[in-house]
Chains A and B, each alone.
Chain A
Amino acid sequence: MVWSLIVSRNFASVLLQQDNRLDQPGSGSLTYLYFEMEEAANASISEPLDLVKLALGERVFIKLRGDRTVSGVLHAYDAHMNLVLSQVEEAVHIVDVTEDGQAMPLRVDRRQMEMLFVRGDGVILISPQQQ
């Protein structure tokens, strides 16, 4: 509760995310939540990348340059938005063009990768993923 207040003062949308998680049975251990409480109390949640910090260990959705989207469990990031993800599914959106210059319907190539580093300069957005 204390933690919710601290967060909400700074970041209302994060509060929503976390409250949902608390309501789900078996999601996140007590020690983990306690750690996050302490973290929130110590470091004020005040800049955009703090949202990413709260997503550590969680599945995130990322949109990248080059018509790509990636979903994976976030393990590390830095100020450049370089990311380390596991259990990754990448989707590449492709439009083939026929000999006579007609666009085929959009198709999606999917790839699974067990551990992936994503360079930050390709990142367009990072979003906590709703399960």
Chain B
Amino acid sequence: MAASTVDGEVEVFTLPFKKSRNLKLRSVWGMGKELYMFQSQIPHKEREESQRSFSESNIFDVQWNAEMHDIARKLVNETHNIFVILQGQVKSLSQSILYSQLRKASKQYRAVLKACSMELMQIADSCTDESKKLKYEEHIQEFEMIQLIWSLCEILFIDVAPGGLVLTSLLDWLQWHFQEGKQLATKVIHSDQPCEHPQYWEAIYRLLLQGDTENVRKLLALNVFSHSDSFIAVDEVLKKMPRWTYQHAQSVAEYEMKWRHWREECVRRYEAGQFAAYPELETIVQVLCGDEAVFKDLKDCCETWYHLLVSKLLYQNPTCRIQDLTYEIKPCQAVFSNSSPQIQELDNILQAALEFDLHQVIKDSCTFLSNRSWWFVSHLADILHHCGQLDPQELPFGSNLREYLLLEYATSLMAHKSLYQVGIDYLDFCPVFGRSYIEAYVERIPLETERKAHKILHICLERDLLVQAQSICKVMGMKCLKQERFGSALSWFLKSKDATVIKQVTDRFLNEYCEEGKFSHLDLIDHLGPSMLITNSLTFLAKYREFHTFYNNGDVKGAVNLLLSLISSRLAPKFFWMTMLMDALPLLNLPEVVFNVSQTYELLHCLEELQRDGTSNYKNLKETEIEKLKLLRIALTRNLANAILQERSVRTVSIS
């Protein structure tokens, strides 16, 4: 592994602040890759008010590695699906089936990338704002480079041809990424006099160098001299050119023999001067013969050293193995010199790939292509990792390269207002740090709406993040409580199972009942179920409500017993005792005696305790309520008398 895997040059970003000796630049972290920057004064040891220096009062919100997410949301979203499905397959599939899925996923990623790139081209075309257009074009260029690297890596590491015969795939790669020849051919064909077109021969050479002999023949057929002997001869050798395909069950040796015969024929005919009448045809046959010099002459039709490399292999060594590629790099690069520095970066990455130095590929791609997003490196590394091409060993930071890159990508998604969900899904597949990252981030996602809060709560519960779930419920409950939405507050607090805050709400409910004589959240209270056991205050609320139900249904005995046990349990807050005693009043006034002696004493005790306490609730009673209390006392006394009579228990009472 290279000395430093993903260290690049330090990126410098400049903010429009004034420079001053008395000022410093400060930062505050936002979510993920986001900083708020502002200018502040350099403190003096004495902390005195120093000479004033003008400072900027602006604070700048700076984000990085996130630029692509808005431009290519589709890319982020669609590749997210591919990624998640693939991770599932990694877990469940056997090795051999998995490989075919990995190949498929790699192609899917590339397809989405291509689609996004094309969509961006359309947007750029119709964009009138020059600076925006420039941005789009930068992105398109980057997408094109990514595609070029990815498809080469796919050929070399992911979808490796059987027997290591790599040329057919490399030709596809050329034809896919170098379309100049095809475009030129179309232009030529559609011109009035194709063979008079100034680029007629260039188009032919370009197609020939990509092995597209079909179209070369079509173009040659358009020539006015196409019926001359030389043209017919060229057409013959082009037609005869042997092709390597996996489909036909031909062996490599068989193919090699065919090819050698064909090439001998080309050389023979060339030496016999069959094409001498037309220098352009001679050039074509020289290419077919694999003549070293002619490739140098045609280098402009290849554009790059790697195109030249594939073209030369096609005509010089068509059965080359994947390992042979390395030796061809230097000679081909030598043909091209002085290219621009940006191209240099891309060249280095492709060279590293052809040299099978995957870590260099990833390292250089990180430096060169991860400025706008870590999308590319993280997804490519994931596939390579599962293909067994990356060193799976743990690095000093605590996990492997795949996880390192996925963490970068996920982190850059976290600051986004809606893509955070995608980020979390990626973190799910980071075995060492993923969970802790989710824990750190999930509590910091703004809970603007109930819906979003539920969504985030769901994220927590799915992952068994109970501490975070509890915190979210508590935050939401407190918010509702502040807005006096007690029902919602209680349902949030029930989820967080926090007794102290639940009591705050149940007290509000009881208060409300004292004031208005009814509960506003009956369905919630009626459906507490087992959650009423979370805390005493809830148990009381539910049981008190049950008392109402008994009473309304005419179950006097049930009502009386429950009310008494509620009163004697002392579960209710003091301010509510009066209400419960008042609830006893209609029961006391029933024609039959429903409270026996000891039960009546219980009620009396409660009344006494309340009066002795002199709680503010009692003191502040209104006239009507004091009147009611008097009635209660009378009713209790009368009931006691009746009960004693009924039970004939006067003696026992006098003894005790």
Q: Do A and B bind each other?
A: no
- Chain A positions within 8 Å of B, measured between CB atoms, are none
